[in-house]
Structure 1
Amino acid sequence: MGAAPKPINEVERLRALSEYRILGTKPEESYDNITSMAAMICHAPIALISLVDQSRQWFKSRVGCDQQQTERDISFCAHTILNPQPLIVEDALFDQRFQDNPLVREDPNIRLYAGFPLNTPNDQRIGTLCVIDRMPKSLTSIQIQVMKRLADQVVTLLELRRRSLDLLEEFCKLQDSKGLICSCSYCRKIRDGNGSWQPFEDYMMRHSTLNFSHGICQGCMSEHFPEVSRAGC
């Protein structure tokens, strides 16, 4: 088994991937809907949105797979990103590139692999939408066409994410002149004038005369400590 060679544009490819700031993010319904549709249309038990990083492939969305990532050296998707066209392996046991791969010889016992590259608008292949089966088989022309369109939809979602983040960055740069405070929509940290993200309490104590203490509100008490809440009634 040999690891896939690195693309000749690897530096630019990794830079394009980093611009989406997607690696390590939590599951999102919009991406999960695509992997679910891919699994259904191809009648496959496993479907993945795989992003190929420097040394790993990380799964933004997954159906039928418990792993969050695997090593790049054993990744089928690392082969897929070498070309703009899909990579379809009908039986990995009879493909010299993969027949000794631990993902073939051991769990998940890959036989069919069908990977569709995620081509960015700048023609950088940052990962794949793929389906996997434990049984050898082929895909129909209709399934292939649908998978190509679903892969394009993944890139559309990533582009929307990148543009939204860019707009947010520009908006946050205005906060000093406009008296605005920029907060993270997820963790609620505050971005200061130097671009650093700080906990809300730290930011407010640095920029006001306020001090903070901590307690637990009634709603959180009922949700997280129901036994204590009932005992107090």
Structure 2
Amino acid sequence: MPLDPSDEPARLAELKGYGVLDTPNEAEFDAIVREAATALGVPIALISLIDENRQWFKARVGLAPQETPRSISFCTHAIRGPDVFVVNDAKADPRFSENPLVTGDPNIRFYAGAPLRTTSGKRIGTLCVIDRTARAQLTEQDTARLTLLAEKTMQALERRRQRLNAADAA
């Protein structure tokens, strides 16, 4: 199910309501991407949040940039659906074969992203894993692990928002 463009303002409002964009690294989120990279045996894992024009990385392992343009992001595709979005070989996929993230650094070949869903169902980003070599389809176990880690990410974002709201109320 594609994202409804008329819902984009509400999705962005929910994302901004977390007060997380452009904040420093936090150990809880860094631990989640390390766990994802290790569990799925990939060199790159990200917590990617999609705003109007970019994907911004709250946590990342194996990738230096803090953000990339939304227009070239794989995660923009991943938030269009409710389940894990997988690209087994980006070089062979016509949607991505000319993407600068495929043709240049970081040379993405494999991508899997689990949407980060708010309690109201808005998809604000992904927990994703990336490899520089093509891979076969994710196993059922890997899909479940990625989904579970995305849920863990949302729980951490909710706790973070509650702390911010409590601090604002004090």
CA contact (8 A) 1:48 1:59 kept: yes
Amino acid at match of 1:163: Q
Q: Does 1:157 align with 2:164?
A: no
Q: Give the equivalent residue in structure 2 for 1:58.
A: 56
Q: 1:121 deviation in Å?
A: 0.4
Q: Give the equivalent residue in structure 1 for 2:43.
A: 45
Amino acid at match of 1:98: F
Q: Give the equivalent residue in structure 1 for 2:146.
A: 147
Distance change (3 Å), C-alpha of 1:109 and 1:5: farther
CA contact (8 A) 1:93 1:99 kept: yes
Counterpart-to-counterpart distance in 1, 2:113 and 2:166: 32
Counterpart-to-counterpart distance in 2, 1:36 and 1:166: 28
CA contact (8 A) 1:7 1:82 kept: no
Q: Give the equivalent residue in structure 2 for 1:206.
A: none
Counterpart-to-counterpart distance in 2, 1:55 and 1:78: 10
Q: 1:166 deviation in Å?
A: 1.4
Counterpart-to-counterpart distance in 1, 2:145 and 2:134: 20
Q: Give the equivalent residue in structure 2 for 1:168.
A: 167
Distance change (3 Å), C-alpha of 1:47 and 1:128: same
Counterpart-to-counterpart distance in 2, 1:111 and 1:54: 25
Amino acid at match of 1:14: L
Alignment gaps of 5+ in structure 1: 172-233
Counterpart-to-counterpart distance in 1, 2:167 and 2:61: 31
Distance change (3 Å), C-alpha of 1:23 and 1:5: same
Amino acid at match of 2:39: I
Residue 65 of structure 2: which of 63, 67, 92 is its match?
67
CA contact (8 A) 1:38 1:47 kept: yes
Counterpart-to-counterpart distance in 1, 2:63 and 2:3: 25
Q: 2:101 aligns to what SS in structure 1?
A: helix
- Of all paired residues, the percent bearing the same amino acid is 47
Q: How does 1:39-118 map to 2 (within 5 A)?
A: 39-118=37-116
Q: Give the equivalent residue in structure 1 for 2:19.
A: 21
Q: Cα deviations across residues 20-57 of structure 1 (Å, max 9, x unaligned)?
A: 00011111110011000100111000000000011000
Aligned residues: 168
Q: 1:5 deviation in Å?
A: 7.9
TM-score of the superposition, structure 2-length normalised? 0.95
Q: 1:9 aligns to what SS in structure 2?
A: helix
Q: Give the equivalent residue in structure 2 for 1:121.
A: 119
CA contact (8 A) 1:20 1:162 kept: yes
Q: 1:6 deviation in Å?
A: 7.2
Q: Cα deviations across residues 52-107 of structure 1 (Å, max 9, x unaligned)?
A: 01100000000000000000000000111111111100001121111110000111
Counterpart-to-counterpart distance in 1, 2:8 and 2:42: 31
Distance change (3 Å), C-alpha of 1:109 and 1:118: same
Q: 1:8 deviation in Å?
A: 3.9
Amino acid at match of 1:34: I
